[in-house]
Amino acid sequence: MARRAVPRFEAVKLTRYKHACHAMFHAPNEDKLFGRIPVRHTVLMQMRFDGRLGFPGGFVDLEEGLEAGLNRELEEEMGLDVRICGITEEDWAATEVHDEQNFVSHFYIKKITLDQIRQIETAATTAKDHGLESLGLVRVPVYTLPRDKAGGLPAFLSNTFIGTAREELLMGLEQEGILSHAEIQKALKASGARRQ
Ligand code: GTP
Ligand code: MN
Ligand code: MN
Ligand code: MN
Ligand code: MN
Ligand code: MN
């Protein structure tokens, strides 16, 4: 699947392509699992209707605008209060063009507070598309369990992901300083480094 990274301003000129926008919300988390394993950080993904993991978001019209379209999808799929946690152009992280599929995917990352994550999770079950397009938000375990060194992020990474969501997750973890490059490589190795 050939794809190329382009800046946002170039991508919006691709009027003959279908565009989709998805977003990663994340927050630092000081909780300790079992009272001793640091949770470190909370990252939100969703279980999709097709059984694959992805980020909330969806197809947008260039006329409505990338971020306005994304906020509409986030409201539909997770009941996001866009006045509080809405996505803006400043949250843009990456755009990839898939020429063979006539498809452009835009990825956004937004750091919020753990309280805001909890509010989003509470509202999510009342969203219009809950139980339909979205089967629920999930928190990504970013830690690796010390006991078997495979539980946590390595096991999570061996799930099936939609499109390039898995790569976006890894990029987000590194770019936001949630995990180091070395920690990510280690988790990939422990996951069996299954590509899809
Ligand atoms: P409909 O309203 O049914 O059209 O769904 P939607 O608008 O919510 O679209 P969806 O979220 O399924 O995203 C549109 C397309 O983008 C999908 O067909 C996937 O190919 C791709 N996609 C979905 N989730 C992600 C994601 O997290 N990352 C990336 N890169 N692509 C995704
Ligand atoms: Mn228990
Ligand atoms: Mn969607
Ligand atoms: Mn949708
Ligand atoms: Mn849609
Ligand atoms: Mn829809």
For 45-78, how does the pLDDT look when each residue is reduced to its tens digit (9 = 90+)?
Answer: 999 999 999 999 999 999 999 999 999 999 999 9
| Percent over 70 (pLDDT), the chain | 97
User: Is residue 172 within 6 Å of ligand 1 at its C-beta?
Assistant: no
- How confident is the model over 90-114, as a mean pLDDT? 98
- How confident is the model over 25-39, as a mean pLDDT? 97
Mind listing the domains of the chain with CATH numbers?
4-190 (3.90.79.10)
Determine the distance separating the centroid of ligand 5 and the alpha carbon of 59, expressed in angstroms.
Answer: 5
Residue 196 has pLDDT above 60, yes or no: no
* Confidence band for 15, pLDDT divided at 50, 70 and 90: very high
Which CB contacts under 8 angstroms, 24+ apart, belong to 120-125?
120/25, 120/44, 120/78, 120/79, 120/80, 120/85, 121/44, 123/78, 123/79, 123/80, 123/81, 124/78, 124/79, 125/79
Determine the distance separating the centroid of ligand 1 and the alpha carbon of 74, expressed in angstroms.
Answer: 12
- The protein residues having their C-beta less than 5 angstroms from ligand 3 (an ion) are 58
Mean pLDDT of the chain: 96
* Confidence band for 192, pLDDT divided at 50, 70 and 90: confident
